[in-house]
Chains A and B, each alone.
Chain A
């Protein structure tokens, strides 16, 4: 006895079904070098993230003695588990950051 055959359709969502489905920003362009740059260090309060940032600061300082580091303790609109708040761009401008290192995960 032959088994019944089924012709099936796709269950997957399709971006072309909605005009506004795609929301995309470009990643920031790369820095030419880290020499003399200002790097933000943002600890999001996940365990040991502060230590990781301090160690990277130490390692990078040895290679780039003129690098500057700006520390952000949890709290300044940069709370654990939170999406970047709208004023994060203001903070970056205010501190004249070239890039930032953010710890994440748990």
Chain B
């Protein structure tokens, strides 16, 4: 984080394991006593590493087209694993020929900078996007999607510098528009299983971009307590949905090709619902409370004052709601009013964050709606969203199954960002040329 904020040589006093939060006071006394000399030295000596700081790079610059390694498939993969230039799985060797094939699917110049990716703040150029796309196993025609994705995660609202926090969040990617079908994305049965090449390799690309450009390395800059593997891209089943696609909810015109990325804690279990619309809604509200009520992010200002959890509905369940007269916004409003938790849960957590802070104080400060403090009963029930529209609904999965999932989201730690996908001028012709 210090590097991301431009302070690479911070004065850090590290305690040996265990975490200070797990130590008793007597242990803390001994631990701090043993660290006093080090603390004094940190304050009275130059920051570690700053004395040797240089402003110029040492050694010869490696040009984008320079060959950095030559070998057979196994040797290339061993080299990339040794350098931690990959995710452990075999990669497709990024040869000039393969990278140029990717570049054929964009009108943008190879040296164009899409964005800077903290914590390294290194630039994601069109070229580097292509290289990492090749490695991930993406087909050349995925390139417009990869560029939009790189652009989205370089948006400060995504907060890529928080991906390495102990929470260990994982990006969740949602795709809308006709490009999903054109590129063969799966939106149906097993949408979150790795099988369709487009869904899993585009997601893998993002992980490789985070490793090779953002610079995430386990135990160095990626401090995830557990972490999770990347989720395949969710393509929305727009043809099977009774409603406008999620991208329209986010302000894009119907029919636009849009990619959305945000953090996911986990894509929760696929839970069963039955009966008429209100019965399905009741169970979904209960599951929302279980999945989202534990984190209580809605009341924690330092997570940015906005969350965007995702509710995944199959076409069957979305159809049941629609036939019962529920618009998508009606569903969100119903769930906002019925997915409730005790205010006491929030207040206990907020007091930990700030002494004397609670929901009533948050409402007074204007960071929460008055709905969170209608009275001062600590057991009153309050929502787990700031407003109904925060809940995002995506229709996907096995068309005729009565199951749903909830994906939690961490506010500005992986904030929700969408980008329209820019296609090259001769997209249709190019696409036809590679159809197999």
Q: Which residues of A contact B (CB under 8 A)?
A: 3-18, 20-34, 45-49, 51-52, 55-56, 59-60, 63, 73-75, 79-83, 99, 101, 103, 105-106
Q: Judging by beta carbons under 8 Å apart, are B61 and A14 in contact?
A: yes
Q: Judging by beta carbons under 8 Å apart, are B70 and A7 in contact?
A: yes
Q: Judging by beta carbons under 8 Å apart, are B123 and A27 in contact?
A: no
In the complex, how many angstroms separate the beta carbon of A49 from the nearest chain B beta carbon?
7
Contact with A along B124-168 (1 / 0, CB 8 A): 110010011001000000000000000000000000000000100
Q: Judging by beta carbons under 8 Å apart, are B85 and A11 in contact?
A: yes
Q: How many residues of B contact A (CB 8 A)?
A: 77
A45 to B351 alpha-carbon distance, docked (Å): 9
Quick check: is B40 within 8 A (CB to CB) of the other chain? yes
24 cross-chain CB contacts under 8 A: A6-B70, A6-B71, A6-B72, A6-B95, A8-B67, A10-B62, A12-B128, A13-B213, A13-B215, A15-B121, A16-B57, A18-B113, A21-B123, A23-B5, A25-B7, A29-B46, A31-B44, A48-B28, A55-B33, A73-B354, A81-B303, A82-B302, A99-B43, A101-B39
Which residues 264-290 of B sit at the A interface, judged by CB distance below 8 A? none
Q: Judging by beta carbons under 8 Å apart, are B28 and A13 in contact?
A: no
Q: Which residues of B contact A (CB under 8 A)?
A: 5-11, 19-21, 23, 25, 28-29, 32-33, 35-36, 39-40, 43-47, 50, 57, 61-62, 64-74, 76, 80, 85, 93-96, 99, 111, 113, 116-117, 120-125, 128, 131-132, 135, 166, 208, 212-215, 301-303, 352-357
Q: Judging by beta carbons under 8 Å apart, are A9 and B65 in contact?
A: yes
A11-B131, A12-B212, A51-B28 known; A81+B302 contact, CB < 8 A: yes
Q: Judging by beta carbons under 8 Å apart, are A27 and B96 in contact?
A: no
A49 to B28 alpha-carbon distance, docked (Å): 10
A56 to B214 alpha-carbon distance, docked (Å): 36
Q: Judging by beta carbons under 8 Å apart, are B46 and A30 in contact?
A: yes
A9-B96, A30-B44 known; A20+B116 contact, CB < 8 A: yes
Complex contacts, A25 vs chain B, CB 8 Å: 5-7
Complex contacts, A105 vs chain B, CB 8 Å: 19-20
Q: Judging by beta carbons under 8 Å apart, are B70 and A24 in contact?
A: no
Give the one of A4, A9, A17, A79 with max B CB within 10 A: A9
Which of these, A9, A46, A60, A103, contacts B94 with CB under 8 Å?
Answer: A9
Q: Judging by beta carbons under 8 Å apart, are B128 and A8 in contact?
A: no
Complex contacts, B93 vs chain A, CB 8 Å: 6, 8
Q: Judging by beta carbons under 8 Å apart, are A52 and B28 in contact?
A: yes
Q: Judging by beta carbons under 8 Å apart, are B213 and A12 in contact?
A: yes
A33 to B44 alpha-carbon distance, docked (Å): 6
A6-B76, A10-B131 known; A46+B67 contact, CB < 8 A: no
Complex contacts, A52 vs chain B, CB 8 Å: 20, 28, 32
Q: Judging by beta carbons under 8 Å apart, are A31 and B36 in contact?
A: no
Q: Judging by beta carbons under 8 Å apart, are B355 and A51 in contact?
A: no
In the complex, how many angstroms separate the beta carbon of B97 from the nearest chain A beta carbon?
9
A50 to B219 alpha-carbon distance, docked (Å): 26
Q: Judging by beta carbons under 8 Å apart, are B50 and A26 in contact?
A: yes
Complex contacts, B215 vs chain A, CB 8 Å: 13
A81 to B301 alpha-carbon distance, docked (Å): 10
Q: Judging by beta carbons under 8 Å apart, are A23 and B68 in contact?
A: no
Complex contacts, A99 vs chain B, CB 8 Å: 43
In the complex, how many angstroms separate the beta carbon of A81 from the nearest chain B beta carbon?
5
A46 to B8 alpha-carbon distance, docked (Å): 23
Which of these, B36, B57, B353, contacts A79 with CB under 8 Å?
Answer: B353
Chain A residue at minimal CB-CB distance from B42: A30
In the complex, how many angstroms separate the beta carbon of A85 from the nearest chain B beta carbon?
10
A9-B68, A13-B212 known; A32+B32 contact, CB < 8 A: no
In the complex, how many angstroms separate the beta carbon of A61 from the nearest chain B beta carbon?
11
Apart from A7-B69, A106-B21, list 14 A-B contacts with CB within 8 A: A8-B95, A9-B95, A12-B85, A13-B125, A15-B123, A16-B61, A18-B116, A24-B7, A24-B8, A46-B20, A51-B28, A56-B39, A101-B39, A105-B20
